[in-house]
Chains A and B, each alone.
Chain A
Amino acid sequence: MLDYLLSFLILTGAIFTFVGSLGLVRLKDFYTRLHGPTKATTLGVGCLLIASAIYFSNREAGMSLHEVLITLFLFITAPVSAHMLAKAGLHLGLPSLAKTPEEKIPEKDNETTKTLTDKKTAVDQ
């Protein structure tokens, strides 16, 4: 029974890891490529680590939960690296299939900085 559960977890994990890297090859532009590794691989490695935790808990006396640490760490850090990479990509102005939002955010920033400076001059006066 446990054997089947472990096999299932290991296979699912390996397949998701594979699909995540496949996305890296198949997708067309940088921003869509970001999606594959951040999502598919986190669950893939998560499944493998849970399988490892179950395997070692079953094999030796006592629980073996330290794999959970890597899982949690990956779940927290993968989005952060994705965010940084997206930011770097936007900063370098990489070509994108979607409309790049050059105009969308800076405009609003200008407005707020403008109102801020307005307020500041009002205070100065």
Chain B
Amino acid sequence: MLNMVIPMALALVTAAVTMSFWRLLKGPSVPDRILALDTLYVNTIALLVLLGIHLASALFFEAALLIALMGFIGTVALCKYLLRGDIIE
């Protein structure tokens, strides 16, 4: 059962990554691209967790945690740049 479900889930999440990437390329505005990047982080976390279950390895957890942390900081820094034209005040 699990062996059948995981490839399906991987396909769905990969499609999600593709759609986020399309929005990242298309824009049309800068916040749209940042939003697409943010979604891409979340999709990547989902992909890593799925791969972790698929390969039965707990090693992917740290990578997922780091992407969550860095993705959040990246999004906030980019928004801050748009709002103030400066990141560190």
Binding site for B on A (CB under 8 A): 3-4, 6-7, 10-11, 13-15, 17-18, 20-22, 24-25, 30, 33-34, 36-37, 41-42, 44-45, 48-49, 51-52, 55-56, 59-60, 64, 66-67, 69-70, 73-74, 77-78, 80-81, 84-85, 87-89, 91-92, 94
Chain B interface, >50% SS class: helix
A7 touches B1 (CB 8 A): yes
Name the distance in Å between B70's Cβ and chain A's nearest Cβ: 11
Give the residue among A37, A49, A69, A89 with the most B Cβ atoms within 10 A.
Answer: A37
CA distance A120 to B8 in the complex (A): 65
**Chain A residues within 8 Å of B69, by CB:** 73
CA distance A81 to B41 in the complex (A): 12
A70 touches B79 (CB 8 A): no
CA distance A34 to B50 in the complex (A): 25
**Chain B residues within 8 Å of A45, by CB:** 42, 45-46, 49
B79 touches A94 (CB 8 A): no
User: Which 3 A-B pairs have CB atoms at the shortest separation, nearest pair first?
Assistant: A14-B9, A21-B16, A84-B79
Residue of B nearest to A83 (CB): B79
